[in-house]
Amino acid sequence: MPSGTAPDEDRAVTNDEAEAPRERLYGRARGHRLRPRQQLLLAQSLPRMRFGAEFLTSEPVFLEIGFGGGEHAIAQIGHLRLIPCEVFENGICSLLSRLVPEGEEATVIPPDNLRLWDADARILLRQLPPGCLAGVFLLFPDPWPKLRHAKRRFVQPANIALLAGVLRPGGEWRIASDDPTYQDWVDAQMAEQSEFRLQQRSDTRPPGWPPTRYEAKALRAGRKPVYWSYRRA
């Protein structure tokens, strides 16, 4: 973390100290009924792995906004210090099930380089110290394709400004989407801002970008993803 950006050690960053923004950027928070193992993971393992301010150290920290089934997060924690954000309980359980051995739900020791955020990512972004993030991932977010739902898309001026405030100069913001409407939206929104500079726009997944189930689903359906890399100016 850059000098001068260390958080107040007496103040823990929590997901309930501030209300979520009025306009939700996600749909339902739960899918099918949770199985007993999943209930244990949420009740016993999740509290042990939740993000707190103590996770912010001098080491580079990365943020994933909406981790889906957790495939990308699992691939990245082998070499990154990561805060994966997700509100969908089934997705949270999917990631936790990969991290927590059966029978160790109440005693699991969290990986040193991973802490979860299970609320609206914008709450966290408003509380993080300036310049504390080295990179951000926004991979295959809900495109909200109907025009009346456009304000729910994450790539908006207000959220771009939030990310610019917490991403250090030179930090990378990766975006991927298979939805043509969202692809056009990203191009248009990012063309109107000055905080980030486009480094790459590709129709093939760049080297070093782990695959996700959403990408695989899109390819099976014949949709063509676009991958952007932006750098904080």
Identify the active-site residue in 10, 118, 142, 179.
142
| Helix, strand, coil percentages in the chain from 3-state DSSP, rounded to 5 | 35, 20, 50
The C-alpha atoms of residue 183 and residue 202 are separated, in whole angstroms, by 11
Supply φ then ψ for residue 200, to 5 degrees. -160, 140
Tokens for 150? 């456009």
Task: Tell the residue number behind the tokens 């790539």, with chain if given.
Answer: 155
**Residue 228 DSSP SS3:** strand
The C-alpha atoms of residue 49 and residue 42 are separated, in whole angstroms, by 10
How does DSSP assign 105-129, residue by residue?
Answer: TTTPPPPTTB-BB-S-HHHHHHHSP
Contact 102, 37 (CB under 8 A): yes
Residues for the chain: how many in total?
A: 233
Tokens for 86? 């997700």
Catalytic residue flag (residue 142): yes
Q: Which residues are catalytic?
A: 142
